[in-house]
Structure 1
Amino acid sequence: MAGRADGDGRMTFRAAFMASPGPRTPREAALLWLKGLCMGGADIIPGVSGGTIAFITGIYAQLVDAIRSFDVLFVRRLLRLDLTGALAEVHLRFLACLLFGILTAVVTMAGVMNYMLNNRPVEIWSLFFGLVTASIFVVGREIKPLNAINLGFVLLGAAGSYLLVGMIPVSTPETSAFIFLCGAIAICAMILPGISGAFLLLMLGKYEYVTRTLKNPFLWDNFVVISTFAAGAVVGIVFFSRVLHFLLARWHAATVSVLTGFMIGALRKVWPWKEVLESTVIRGKMHVLRAQNVFPDGFSWDVVLALGLFAAGVLAVCVLERLSDRTQ
């Protein structure tokens, strides 16, 4: 294991940190931060997944591996108080830089995104429709060979995603076991292109229940709910990252085909023009439960603006892909 040791021959924390996978130059760190910024911006939008951005920017496999690095060996070294050894094992430099970009987006862009969703929904959805559409072609190029079997997997993923994003929230129990399960399912969307965790939580009927507890997290009952949900999220992401790694390593083309299908089906959610059929108010905010996609009423400057933002989304994906290719 590379790195400088101290006078006793033990690895220093700085050496352990630098021994972990991650950006080696300021330029690489800045580019990874930018990718995290784009992931965070996508995660803010309900129905859009940061996993899609991770895929098109070429860091999807690295993200899965980074999450997998928190394994049994890491826990054993922690229990033996081998802190530098544990630090060197996990992909902390990669995750720290990426998460800093995601956090930057959440802090700086949340207000703007919220304003756009409430006041200019067609425009913001047009931008993301362009992002997702271009992403489908970028990710789809990884399907090799492009044969009838893999095309079948694309159709399977598209059908499943299309049906999922059209589901109406169900009434579900408030037991600890189900809250744990909700955490495990919702967090998987972070590394699953095309579907957002908030949307899955809404479909499971627990969006309002979980977010309500965050207003007073130090009340004992709320603390129990948050802790249970967080425990489910940890278990879910650790388990699901290993499943994805196995699938990508063993059946790469089929797995990419299904993930591409997920994004195709998700276009139903991000289509800009909608007619609301059913909605509900959660904590003072309106959430659409059911809507149908419609075409715009005639050709206007608003439609021209929407088409321009669609093109901007496509261009943004092309730029991100080009930057990723140069880095690699």
Structure 2
Amino acid sequence: MLKNFKIGVGGFLMAAADSVPGVSGGTIAFVLGFYETFIDSLNALIGHRFGERRQALIWLGKLGLGWVLGMGIFSTIITRVLETSPYTVFSLFLGFTVFAIPLVVKEEWKSINGHWGYALFIPLGALLVYGVTWIGPGTVVNLDHIDVLVALYLFVAAAVAICAMVLPGISGSTLLLIMGVYTPIITAVRNLFHLDFSALPILIIFGIGVLVGLGTTVKLVAAGMKHHRLAMVFFIIGLMIGSLFAIVQGPTALALPRAALSMGTFSGGWFLIGGAILGVLSAARYWMESQDRARSQA
């Protein structure tokens, strides 16, 4: 029961990250120590071995229950808070991301220490995020009337965003914000949890894009983590560094556009709260692992 509860809590916390532009759900999984189990389970789910697929489905089902609960709660909260206090929220997201970087480095220190030649993947990851941010539409895409081009754009945005949600690094919600579809999608999700099905066609198109993106991404990520782990870790760190720029530009892509986050609008207190939350999560993970080791030795 305790193990199942921990998996569900992990899904809940991933949803909290996935619902907001900032840290990705993949980063939360990385910090809490179940990222590779998450990727391996997704990989097994789309594989051909029935036994592995069944085990993966059970594990992902437990994670998914927590994720759905978290998404229902946080999608309702975030749409309201972004309207009233956007700079506070983006300062919090900035704190999440800044403090997540040393946690990822600490987690992988034994593997990356002494292999600094792979550090060239850091600027590659950062430039990728910067480029996506730079070419984004800069405005919210109108999804009230869907034609073929809008549906195709939404499909591609979903496929790209799920890639980010799977990777520890840039948040999928940050990419959705950059591409101008975050506000209508998170609003549609909130309305769906309130049994308003008016935006269901939007979510169906988005869901198909997610499934296609997931099917193509998971195999690549699983292979990368298995055969090119050092390059992947440095690339992920680069994605996280690049996402800082995307978060700073985040307020410009809201439904009611605001100026980018600046020293005048930045909240140091909420920035530190973001770091403190990640610190608590990391400490809780190590405490639970120590408890598990103590029980196994008893």
Indicate the TM-score class for this superposition, using the shorter chain for normalisation: 0.7 to 0.9
Give the match for residue 71 of structure 2. Answer: 106
| Aligned counterparts of 1:105 and 1:95: Cα–Cα separation in 2 | 15
State the 1:56 CA deviation: 1.0
Question: 1:159/1:323 Cα in 2 relative to 1: closer, same or farther (>3 Å)?
Answer: farther
Instruction: State the partner residue of 2:144.
Output: none
Q: Secondary structure at the match of 1:91?
A: helix
Give the superposition deviation at 1:296: 3.1
**Are residues 266 and 317 of structure 1, via their aligned partners in 2, closer, same or farther at CA, if it must alter by over 3 Å?**
farther
Quote the offset at 1:252 in angstroms.
0.5
Contact 1:188–1:197 (CA under 8 A) maintained in structure 2: yes
**1:69 and 2:44 aligned:** yes
Partner of 2:212: 235
Offset, 1:203: 4.1
Taking the aligned partners of 1:135 and 1:232, their CA distance within structure 2 comes to: 28
Structure 1 residue 309: deviation in Å? 1.7
Q: Distance in 1 between matches of 2:254 and 2:57?
A: 41
Written as runs of structure 1 = structure 2, the 5 A alignment for 1:53-202 is 53-73=28-48, 89-141=54-106, 142=108, 144-146=111-113, 147-169=115-137, 174=149, 179-202=154-177
Which stretch of the first structure deviates more once superposed, 162-171 or 26-35? 162-171
1:107-157 CA distance string (max 9 Å, x none)? 233333333333333443333333222221121231523333222112221
Question: Does the 8 Å contact 1:275/1:292 carry over to 2?
Answer: yes
Taking the aligned partners of 1:115 and 1:207, their CA distance within structure 2 comes to 14
Post-superposition CA distance 1:210-258 (Å, at most 9, x none): 7899888689xx74x6555433322220221010010111010110110
TM-score, normalised to structure 2, is 0.75
Q: 1:27 deviation in Å?
A: 1.7
Counterpart for residue 306 of structure 1: 270
Query: CA separation in 2, counterparts of 1:126 and 1:310?
Result: 8
CA contact (8 A) 1:55 1:193 kept: yes
> What residue is the counterpart of 1:244 in the other structure?
221
Residue identity in the other structure for 2:123: L
Between the aligned partners of 2:278 and 2:186, the Cα distance in structure 1 is 33
Distance 1:279 1:59, change over 3 A: closer
Q: State which of 5, 8, 13 in structure 2 corresponds to 1:38.
A: 13
Given that 1:130 and 1:313 are in contact with CA atoms closer than 8 Å, whether structure 2 keeps it comes out as no
- 1:164/1:320 Cα in 2 relative to 1: closer, same or farther (>3 Å)? farther
Q: Is 1:316 matched with 2:291?
A: no
SS of the equivalent of 1:174 reads: helix
Q: How far 1:70 moved relative to its partner?
A: 2.1
8 Å contact kept, 2:8–2:62? yes
Asked whether the 8 Å contact 1:131–1:317 carries over to 2, the reply is: no
SS at match of 2:263: coil
Aligned to 2:233: 256
Percent identical pairs in the alignment equals: 24
Residue number in structure 2 paired with 1:28: 3
Deviation per residue, 1:39-98 (Å, 9 max, x gap): 111112134421111111111111111111223526xxxxxxxxxx56863412221121
Structure with greater strand percent: 1
| Greater Rg over alpha carbons, structure | 1
- In structure 2, the CA distance between the partners of 1:164 and 1:325, relative to structure 1 (3 Å rule), is farther
Query: TM-score of the superposition, structure 1-length normalised?
Result: 0.69
Query: Deviations 1:250-273 (Å, cap 9, x if unpaired)?
Result: 0101101101111111122345xx
What is the CA–CA distance in structure 2 between the aligned matches of 1:238 and 1:125, rounded to whole Å? 31
Question: Could you say what the CA RMSD is over the residues aligned between the two structures, in angstroms?
Answer: 3.6
> What is aligned with 1:10?
none
Q: Which 5+ residue runs of structure 2 have no aligned equivalent?
A: 142-146, 294-298
Match of 2:270, SS state, is helix
Q: 1:269 aligns with which of 246, 250, 260?
A: 246
3-state SS of paired residue (2:33): coil
Q: How far apart, in 1, do the equivalents of 2:94 and 2:128 lie?
A: 19
